[in-house]
Every structure is written in structure tokens, then in C-alpha cells.
Structure 1
Amino acid sequence: MSLVTQLRSERAQLNETLQALAKKDAAGEQLSAEELQQFTSLETQIGELSAKIARAESAERLNAAAAVPVNESARGINGPPAGAHVTVTDNAPPGASVAQVARLLAAAGGNQQHAAQMAQEGGFGQDIVQTLSTVTPGACGVLIPANMAASVIEALRPRSVVRSMGAVSLPLVNGNMTLPRIKDSTVVGYIGTETDIPVTDMTFADMKLQAKKMGALVPISNDLLSFAGINPRVDSIVANDLLISTGLAEDLHYIRSAGSALLPKGLRYWALPGNVVDAPVDPDLKAIDLFLGGLMLRLEAANAAMANCGWLMHPRTIRWLQSLRDGNGNKAYPEIDQGQLKGYRFGLSTQIPVNLGAGGDESEIYFVDFSDCYIGETGQLSIAYSTEASYKDAGGNMVSAFQRDQTLVRVIAHNDFGVRHVESVAVGAKVKWGAGM
């Protein structure tokens, strides 16, 4: 069975399960929390399989186009081929090179030269060998070359909801960047004969980006690191852990960080006070529609570019909106099934809390023009490792990597986040919809 056929079969099986859940939801049955989580997971898996199928089909087409019959060549039936035309398709998962560097360093006990030797003997690519052979370890670990770091940054796009919604990535030269913006434009009007033209000046303001240090800790089982040779599945697992941890850390700060000399300011605190609107409590469909329309109106009334607008919210909120029905039993927002809400696509993130407010059950909805959101980054990554360090898990409990037989990989990057025109952010606060789901 070809790879394409196998992947299509896997996708069909996942789609059957997803359609069963969709039919159950359409019939008015309440989906459990586990079923909602399964539905989201199936969507992600189907999307990843579709991307893999597209790459596999492209590889098959290129392979067929480059094929030469064994008994024929450009110079005749019996002559040798005039020249080899080879097309190479890299099917390695995004960030695999960085993952290989990380696990080779960990397997070598932090000895960079030993790691380079292991890479050479294990059949790794020359880029991996050269990275481990020539880069001098710094105080914060091994510096990843710019070409490898760029692949990780690009691979972060589907993992970070802010990046995936279209935030613009910019290089930080020497760790700093200033983008001017027009705060107040000139006044233009019609005048009468022999009437003085009023003189007005533009008022400018600056959006300043300054590199801020971001770190992510990724615990990896030593059983995985025991595979010294090339193993795409292990590379994929390590790369996914690195990317997911980094993406979650970015979203946490790009969405709700209050900002400081050390932390980037998130969307919640870039929003103007007049663009923060409380959600209606126990609303009907009319009130909900007015509330969502009001968030959109705040950008439109400020003459925002509206070039790449979208919604951000916690999964709880979108599932509650998806369950709403009108008086005839029809879905109030059927476009949610296509990934849109009121004509604009939405992104989901668990980094938007659902435990805000005095009752601990409030959340937020964001409507943002992401073409006005900028991520400045130096384009450098550094990696360090430890087998003895301890870390805090999601519950705040201290975990010993040594006791768990894990290797703790630390990833350090430098970036910042900013909004060029603050009028491009509207926030719906005190959203209790779906509490108790």
C-alpha cells in the first residue's frame, strides 16, 4: 500500500469518528467535555494528515517526473543516461534539526564534541555535524545557527494562535526596532475665496520593540534519547514538545501579559479603555449579536485597516456559541463549523483564562486586526540541558528530572510583541458563557 493510500485511509477513519460526533451535536444531544476535546483533537489530526497527504502526493508526482526507464536514455536505447536529474523532497518534520541537536547534546552528557562525533557516526546530516562541531557553547547553552532557528520560528506559526492568526514577524536588529505611526492626521477641508487654509500638523507616536528573554523548559524521557541514530518519529516527538512549549509561552504573554521591562505587553493591555466591553449576562441571541457586533464596530469606527481581522477566545466560549439555536432549532452561528464567526475566522487558546472575576468563571473575547500586530525576534535560539534539575509541572508541583528519568531541555529565545495602532484591538470582558460546561 502506498503512503498516500495509507494516509487517506487513516484520514477517512478519523473523519468517520468526527462526523458521528457532529451528527450527535446536530441532533441536539449535549456533547460531554471528553467528546468536545475529542472533536478538537480530531480536527487537528485531520488537518495534519491532509497536509501530509499533500506533501506525499507532491513527492510522488516529482518522483514520477524525474524517473528514467532503465533501458532508455537521452542518447539512445543502449547508451548510458546523459545525466542524473534528482529531485529531493525533505519530509523531515519542522524543527527536526533543532530537535536532533537537543537530543544529541543530552545523549552526550552535554559534551559538544562527543555529540558531534555521535552525529557523524550516526549518519546525521552535515548541518547537524557542523553545528555541533563549530558552535562555541555560551553561558546559556549551545547557540543554534540562524537557518535552523528560522525553521523553528516558522514551525511555531501553527502552534502559536497569535502567529497563526497573522501577526507580522519582524527581525530585531541589535535587539531593537521602532515603528512610527500616525496618531493624529492632518485636517483637510474646503475653503472660500481669500480664506486662509488652516494649518494642522500630523502627530506621530512610536511602537518600540525591544528583545525580551523568553525561556521554555521541555522534559524529555531518557528512553527517547537512547535512540542515538536517525529516528524521524523521535525527532518529531522532541520537535513537537519544543514547539508546543514555546508556542504556549508566546501566547500566554502576547495575549494577556501586562508588560514590563522584562515581559512583552499583551493584547489585553494594548486595548484602549473604551475598547473593553463587558459581556451581557444570561443574554438572548439578540444581545449576543449586538455584543459581538459592538466589538467589531469599535475597530470600524476608528477607521482601522481591517486587513486581517479575527477573533481569539477560549474553546469553552466557541463551543457555547456553537451550541446556540434560534427559535426554529437551527444553529445560530452555523459558520462556526467552517472556522468563522460573523464573517471572520477565529483562533482558540487555553492561554485565555476562564477563571477571571470574583466568581472565578469569567473569560474574554478578543477581536483584533492582526495586520497591526508585530512580533519582533532576533532569530536566534540557544539550547541547554540538565538531567539533575527540577521543574514545576502544570499544577505547580516540583518534579525532579533525575527521579523521573528525564532530561530537561531549556530553550532560550529573544522577542517582543507590540500593536502599531492600539485602536485595532477590542476586548469583550466578563464572559461567563459556557461556565459549567
Structure 2
Amino acid sequence: MDKILELRTRRAGIIDQMDALLASVPDGDDMTAEQVTAFDALKAQDDKAATELTRLEDLERRRAAAARTPEPLPGSTAPVAGTTPAKPAEKGLTFGRMVRTIAAAGGNHYVAQQMAEANGDSGLFANQNMSTGTAGGFLVPEDVSTEVIELLRPVSVVTAMGPRIVPMPNGNMTTNRRVSGANFGYGGEQEDAPATGYEYGQVKLSAKKLSGIIPVSNDLLRSSSTAVDRMIRDDAVEDAAQIQDRHFLRGAGTEYKPKGFRYQHLGTPFEATHILTMTASPDVQKVDNDLGAMELALGNNNIVYTGAHWIMSPRSAMFLTNLRDGNGNKVYPEMGENMLRKKPVHITTEIPDNLGGGGIASEIMLVHPAHVMVGEHMGIEIAMSTEAAYKDASGTMQAAFSRDETLMRMIMQHDIGLRHLAALSIMTGVTWGTAG
């Protein structure tokens, strides 16, 4: 590898000399005999270096091919002698290495590729056409971005439920939304059969751009470490999941932002039946009745609510965990295993506890994930900057240059919708766990 880099550097120097020689010839004049001789000598040197480089690169490829684990013979189940099963690669680390290498290269894709090869990681950008990067950004290869998105799904409350993930190649998708069921009935001979078929509305998904900026210490980026790659990956996944949940759960829905669960019912007949209000002065019976009412809203519309999932704030979850009956027994002991009335519970701070007139109310959602659609478009795009400014968690403007940081901007595009609006019920005005 060192010899290959040496030859590439030598060729670059030779070509620079050839350029300088040609530039020294005045426009319209021919090269002197001495200049021609010098140019031919440089060309011969470059040809020799190119031939040797081609030979070494071919040898490098052959070494890599020979190092691969041999394929088993047809019908053979035993491992090849002298080999051990390869340990599965940890997902998302390739993304972390890409980010770290591009950042160290100052955002220059070509330089990043050369750096990867110099560090013995020649395959890092092998499947990426460096010219396909967007202006100021880098489109992460599909196989790498898929790994990151797969890691994102269990971290995000909404996608952890297992909704239907559908691709949006053109950034838009329109599909039917079920409104009412088929019309079947019994009848006698020569009697008209009831008209059958579903009544449909439409759910329209359009790619909404989720972008975020993650500051990374340059001290970390200077270190070629798997731990650093893992830290970059985890920061990207956790930050993206938090903002995704914020809008998938309670996004008001605009041209540029998704409409979350909380506002899917507005303006539909389900607004009156599926957006419920907590019973005042809650006690054990009232709490149980309110939870049952949420289940009943799904059940009355033929939604198998036993397959639904609860989503609530930490305060609401802690109240239900600690709730006891008159004998001191826990009312919902299964809350210790994140289950409630035999259904999974997802806890997130993206459902606030400061809603309502008094600023102390929260919400609880019950949704069947089989009727949730998440459309995904593109993949992941990243860009780097060491000069840009950003606002920290407290809203203070920070300068990456003075803090010796590199900013990573990550962009994904997606949208969310419900194929059946009846598959979601919401309890508002929840003050469980407060004095209100």
C-alpha cells in the first residue's frame, strides 16, 4: 500500500512538471528541441510509473480476493479447514468511519477517498461514485444508510412499534385509506346481493426533510478508533430519533413538517369519538375506565385493540406503575415490564407534561401499528463544516472554528400517515401523577 501511494505521488509530481513545461511555451510558438526532449523524458517516466502502479494495484486486488473465505462445496455443510466463521460486522460503524474520514478531509470527497486508502481502508468508498454527492453534501451509499436507519427504528418510539415502512422513490405516495368495511349479507334465491366493497378515502405522504447538526470534537476525529465511530453513529441515531418522534407524535403538519398522531383526527368524524378527555378527580376505577374507553374506541371500529401499543410520558408511566388498590396491591404490576393491559408501553418525553390550561396536563395514545404508514425517501445525506455556527441546547450561538469542532449536518426525508384513522385513540388532559 505504501509503494502504491508513493507511485501515485510520483506521478502527480511528474504531471505537474509536464504542465509547467507546457505553460512556459508562449502561445503560438512551438516547443524548442530541448523542451521536446525534456517533455518526452517526463512522459517516459510517467509511463514507467503508470505501468508499475497498474501492476501493484492488480496484485493488491488479487491479495484481497485470495484472503476471502472460500465458498463451501455444493452439498457441503462442514466449514472449510483452517477457517472460522466471520464475526458479523457491527451495524453503523461504516457510517461512523465515513463521517470521520470525510470530516478529517475537510469535506472533500476525493481527499477522503485517498485518506481511506492510505489508512488501509481502501474499500470504504469503493461503491460510492464521489461525483454523486450533492452540492456541499455527500449522499451516503444505500447499504450504509440502510444500516443506520435500521438502528434508528428501535430507538424511535413510533418506528419501534413496527409500522408499515414503505418506500417513496419520487418523494410522494398516495394510497387508499379505509373508511368503512365491506357490505356482506345473506339472502334467498333470485334476491339481490348487497353491494360489496370497501369505502375508501386517501392518505397522501410527501417527503418531509428532517435535518440536524451534530458537533463533533476534532480531537475525536483525529483518532482512528472504533469507539469514535461508534460515538458518531450513536449521536446521529439518538438525535434523529428524538426529533422524528417529536413530529411523528405531535407535529401539527405543514408543507414542510409531518402531521403527527395528535392531529390526524382533526376535521374528521373520528375527532368526536377517538379524542377523549381524562375523567376528573381520577381514582383507580376512573383510571381503569379511561384506559378501557381508549381500547373501546378501536374495538367499536373492528380494530383488534389487543395488538395496539400505548405511548405515554414518563410521568404517566410512573403513576400507573405505582398505582395501588385499597389493599396496597399494585393495580398494573405488568408496568414493570413495560406492558399495560397486555399491550406494550412506549415511554417518551416527546409527549409533554405541561399541556392544557393549567400547564400540567399530558396525553396518552393507543395505536395499532399495522395501520400506520411511514414513507421513506432517499436515504441519508451528510455535510461537514469547521467554520459554521450553531445553537447549543440552551440556544447560545457557538462557533465551530473557535471550539475546534466539526459540524455534521445529517438529512433524511420521510412522512407518516394512518391507513385507518380508527386505529388511533388519544386521551387528553391527563393529570395523573400531579396534584391537579
Question: Gaps (5+ residues) in structure 2?
Answer: 1-69, 71-78
Residue identity matched to 1:146: E
Q: Give the direction of change, closer, same or farther, for the CA distance of 1:136–1:198 in structure 2 (3 Å limit).
A: closer
Q: Is the 8 A contact 1:322 1:336 kept in 2?
A: yes
Give 1:61's aligned residue: none
Residue identity matched to 2:119: G
Q: Aligned with 1:234: secondary structure?
A: helix
For residues 66-85 of structure 1, the aligned pairs below 5 Å read 83-85=81-83
1:420 CA drift (Å):
0.6
Q: Which stretches of structure 1, 4 residues or more, deviate above 6 A after TM superposition?
A: none
Residue identity matched to 1:113: Y
C-alpha separation between the residues in 2 aligned to 1:243 and 1:198?
52
Identify the match of residue 108 of structure 2 among 107, 111, 115.
Answer: 111
Residue identity matched to 2:293: G
Q: Is the 8 A contact 1:256 1:265 kept in 2?
A: yes
Residue identity matched to 1:203: E
Give 1:243's aligned residue: 237
Asked whether 1:275 is paired with 2:274, we answer: yes
C-alpha separation between the residues in 1 aligned to 2:231 and 2:278?
40
1:238 CA drift (Å):
0.6
Residue identity matched to 2:86: V
Q: Give the direction of change, closer, same or farther, for the CA distance of 1:160–1:201 in structure 2 (3 Å limit).
A: closer
Identical-pair percentage:
38
Give 1:335's aligned residue: 334
1:197 CA drift (Å):
4.2
1:390 CA drift (Å):
2.0
CA deviation profile, 1:360-407 (whole Å, cap 9, x unmatched): 211110000011111111242110011222222333332332333221
C-alpha separation between the residues in 2 aligned to 1:120 and 1:417?
40
CA deviation profile, 1:124-159 (whole Å, cap 9, x unmatched): 361x23256635331250011111111011011221
Q: Give the direction of change, closer, same or farther, for the CA distance of 1:433–1:135 in structure 2 (3 Å limit).
A: farther
Give 2:22's aligned residue: none
Q: Give the direction of change, closer, same or farther, for the CA distance of 1:83–1:311 in structure 2 (3 Å limit).
A: same
For residues 81-160 of structure 1, the aligned pairs below 5 Å read 83-92=81-90, 94-124=91-121, 126=123, 128-130=124-126, 134-160=130-156
Question: Gaps (5+ residues) in structure 1?
Answer: 1-65, 67-80
Q: Aligned with 1:114: secondary structure?
A: helix
Q: Give the direction of change, closer, same or farther, for the CA distance of 1:149–1:307 in structure 2 (3 Å limit).
A: farther
Give 1:429's aligned residue: 428
Q: Is the 8 A contact 2:128 2:141 kept in 1?
A: no
Q: Is the 8 A contact 2:364 2:430 kept in 1?
A: yes
Which entry has the higher C-alpha Rg, 1 or 2? Answer: 2
Identify the match of residue 210 of structure 2 among 210, 214, 232.
Answer: 214
Report the TM-score when normalising by structure 1: 0.76
C-alpha separation between the residues in 2 aligned to 1:82 and 1:110?
43
1:333 CA drift (Å):
0.7
Aligned residue pairs total 354
C-alpha separation between the residues in 1 aligned to 2:85 and 2:130?
29
Q: Is the 8 A contact 1:216 1:411 kept in 2?
A: yes
Q: Is the 8 A contact 2:211 2:409 kept in 1?
A: yes
Q: Aligned with 2:209: secondary structure?
A: strand
Q: Aligned with 1:254: secondary structure?
A: helix
CA deviation profile, 1:67-112 (whole Å, cap 9, x unmatched): xxxxxxxxxxxxxx975434211342x3211121111111111122
Residue identity matched to 2:263: Y
C-alpha separation between the residues in 2 aligned to 1:136 and 1:302?
48
C-alpha separation between the residues in 2 aligned to 1:311 and 1:359?
24
For residues 251-400 of structure 1, the aligned pairs below 5 Å read 251-271=245-265, 272-273=270-271, 274-306=273-305, 308-400=307-399
C-alpha separation between the residues in 2 aligned to 1:185 and 1:173?
30
Q: Aligned with 2:153: secondary structure?
A: coil
Q: Is the 8 A contact 1:112 1:133 kept in 2?
A: no
C-alpha separation between the residues in 1 aligned to 2:229 and 2:424?
38
